[in-house]
Amino acid sequence: CTMMSYWGLTVFSNTLATVPVIGTWLCYWIWGSEYINDFTLLKLHVLHVLLPFVLILVIFMHLFCLHYFMSSDGFCDRFAFYCERLCFCMWFYLRDMFLAFLILFFVIYFIFINWYFVFHEESWVIVDTLKTSDKILPEWFFLFLFGFLKAVPDKFTGLLLMVILLFSLFLFILNCILWFVYCRSSLLWFTYSLILFYSIFMSGFLA
């Protein structure tokens, strides 16, 4: 049990506890107890190890469906018969295999050779529940989310702003896909999602 894992889970639990009515119950359910212990950290560590493999499985299922069932332009397929579609399966396989081996090379390098590069220095310190380390800070790509919690007096309001930010990001990406691929998106919704995402992102970044 290290300082980084313990206090990171503590921050997450304090944020989750702000949810009305079920916040405390969610914390107890995640902890598996009434407080954070070694079993809780071990359970979440196993989850961290298993989730990448689940993600890899989903990616392989997506690539299989893309290569086996549909490998042509989605826009033109509405005006062409199945026999008239262009088949790029071999090129897809070569490209994806090259990218897979390239990513695998970097993964093996950072796991077996330079594995301490991705470690935080507080990951080497045994946890002390009575002392909070001064060097524990969120990663740079989480700083704007951390700004919400510090700029807003109410934690639940900051959590709500973070959820709205992620929803607006999803809405913006969905509108981009519909607009540029299928030409079915509304320009009003596209502009609204862009303004919403940019305004919330910049407010958290400035905070």
Predicted pLDDT of residue 37: 82
Q: How would you label 126-161 residue by residue, b for 16+ Cβ within 10 Å and e otherwise?
A: ebeeeeeeeebeeeeeeebbbbbbeebeebeebbeb
pLDDT (0 to 100) of residue 200 = 66
Spatial separation of the C-alpha atoms in residues 5 and 90, rounded to whole Å: 44
- Model pLDDT, residue 156: 80
pLDDT reported for residue 147: 73
Mean pLDDT by 10 residues, the chain (207 residues): 78 81 85 83 83 85 71 48 56 77 84 73 73 69 73 78 78 72 61 69 63
- pLDDT (0 to 100) of residue 80: 47
Per-residue pLDDT reduced to its tens digit, 60-100: 887 777 766 655 554 444 444 445 555 556 676 777 788 88
**% of the chain beyond a pLDDT of 70:** 66
How big is the CA angle at 182 (ends 95 and 90), to the nearest 5 degrees? 20
